[in-house]
């Protein structure tokens, strides 16, 4: 489907399909002692990656990791704090940017080892997905020091130090490219780039979200033209159009705020690639009844009937989602007759 072929079945996997809603995940998380320890232990990460494949009939496994492993490898002292999220040492000066590089690849090597271990155990009919955060999203975390709703520090940093901000983006672009290429070498068959904070104004979108990701994709295409790449510029509204037109993607993942009918009508791909859209069930629907799930699945499946489509959520599985509802969703999509 990602390579433009039509199928009478819609493939399905879910963002955060390996996670806190699964009791088997909670056991391993407790055993590891912390989220970071879990990510850094290839044997445990392998198990977490495979848990949703064993429990459900998913079509793909996505390596268990985090988009902030690159700042970790740059020694930015990343911590995950309960009910707060990721917190790291914020970048405050040009000197910190100029000295930024991968200082400690012990934070990246376990991810590649996890991919190798998963590949050995993953059934051949399942796809293995590697991923990374987009340079802009990683830059925001590195300047803000934590998740932010208004990106005030980052915008001020850009306005006062535009050249330094762009140097940071370029450095992260190179690091993300290398990280994704290393994941391919370790067994990843598909890549997804998560631009989790793409809800920025039009004046910045091209420079911050399109150009760095386009450079990453083009570099990977030179070395691995056969590897499908999915882009996910979350909450980018009408900018999904420019993202699709200007980056050589195989598939674009859309969030739940995008009307599927609008997406089919307006999103176009570069180089006359056949349109493929991933998404876009609201994760909150998994907290509701089976009737609600069925109604929304029907709308999404019918809307994307004319194009290549990978079923997914508009964001990650919520930790209070019921296993029964997740199974019902997957079975409904897998049994859907086009």
In a domain, 267, yes or no: yes
Q: How many domains does the chain have?
A: 1
- The answer to the question of residue 40 being in a domain is yes
| 35 CB neighbour count, 10 Å cutoff | 15
Looking at residue 75, which CATH number applies to its domain?
3.20.20.210
User: Residue 7 falls within a domain, yes or no?
Assistant: no
* Model confidence pLDDT, tens digit, residues 261-286: 999 999 999 777 899 999 999 999 99
Residue 5 lies in a domain: no
Q: What is the residue-wise DSSP string for 57-112?
A: --SEEE-S--TTHHHHHTT---EEETTTEEE-PPP-SHHHHHT-S---GGGTHHHH
What pLDDT digit, counting tens, does each position of 297-325 carry? 999 999 999 999 999 999 999 999 999 99
Is 323 inside any structural domain?
yes
Burial of 152 from C-beta contacts in 10 A (0-12 / 13-18 / 19+): exposed
Range of the domain at 65: 23-334
pLDDT tens sequence for the chain (338 residues): 898 888 899 999 999 999 999 999 999 999 999 999 999 999 999 999 999 999 998 999 999 999 999 999 999 999 998 888 999 999 999 999 999 999 888 899 999 999 999 999 999 999 999 999 999 999 999 999 998 888 899 999 999 999 999 999 999 999 999 999 999 999 999 999 999 999 999 999 999 999 999 999 999 999 999 999 999 999 999 999 999 999 999 999 999 999 999 999 999 997 778 999 999 999 999 999 999 999 999 999 999 999 999 999 999 999 999 999 999 999 999 999 87
Does 15 fall in a domain? no
């Amino acid at each position: 489907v990602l390579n433009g072929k039509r199928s009478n079945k819609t493939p399905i996997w879910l963002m955060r399909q390996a996670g806190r809603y699964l009791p088997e995940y909670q056991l391993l998380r407790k055993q590891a002692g912390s989220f970071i320890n879990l990510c850094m232990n290839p044997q445990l990460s392998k198990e977490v990656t495979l848990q949703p494949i064993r429990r459900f009939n998913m079509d793909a496994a996505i390596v268990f990791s985090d988009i902030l492993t690159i700042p970790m490898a740059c020694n930015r002292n990343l911590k995950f704090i309960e009910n707060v999220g990721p917190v790291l040492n914020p970048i405050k000066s040009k000197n910190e940017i100029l000295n930024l590089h991968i200082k400690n690849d012990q934070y990246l090597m376990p991810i590649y080892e996890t991919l190798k271990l998963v590949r050995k155990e993953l059934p051949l009919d399942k796809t293995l997905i590697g991923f990374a955060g987009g340079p802009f999203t990683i830059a925001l975390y590195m300047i803000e020091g934590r998740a932010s709703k208004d990106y005030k520090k980052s915008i001020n940093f850009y306005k006062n130090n535009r050249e330094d901000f762009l140097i940071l983006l370029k450095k992260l672009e190179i690091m993300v490219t290398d990280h994704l290429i290393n994941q391919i070498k370790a067994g990843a068959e598909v890549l997804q780039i998560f631009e989790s904070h793409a809800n920025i104004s039009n004046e910045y979108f091209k420079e911050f979200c399109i150009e760095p990701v386009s450079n990453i994709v083009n570099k990977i295409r030179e070395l691995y033209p056969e590897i499908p790449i999915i882009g996910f510029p979350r909450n980018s509204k009408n900018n999904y159009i420019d993202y699709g037109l200007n980056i050589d993607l195989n598939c674009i993942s859309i969030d739940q705020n995008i009307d599927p009918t609008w997406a089919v009508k307006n999103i176009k791909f570069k180089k006359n690639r056949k349109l493929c859209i991933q998404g876009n069930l609201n994760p909150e629907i998994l907290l509701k009844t089976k009737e609600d799930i069925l109604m929304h699945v029907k709308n999404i499946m019918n809307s994307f009937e004319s194009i290549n489509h990978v079923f997914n959520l508009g964001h990650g599985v919520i930790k209070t989602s019921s296993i029964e509802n997740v199974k019902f969703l997957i079975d409904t999509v897998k049994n859907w007759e086009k």
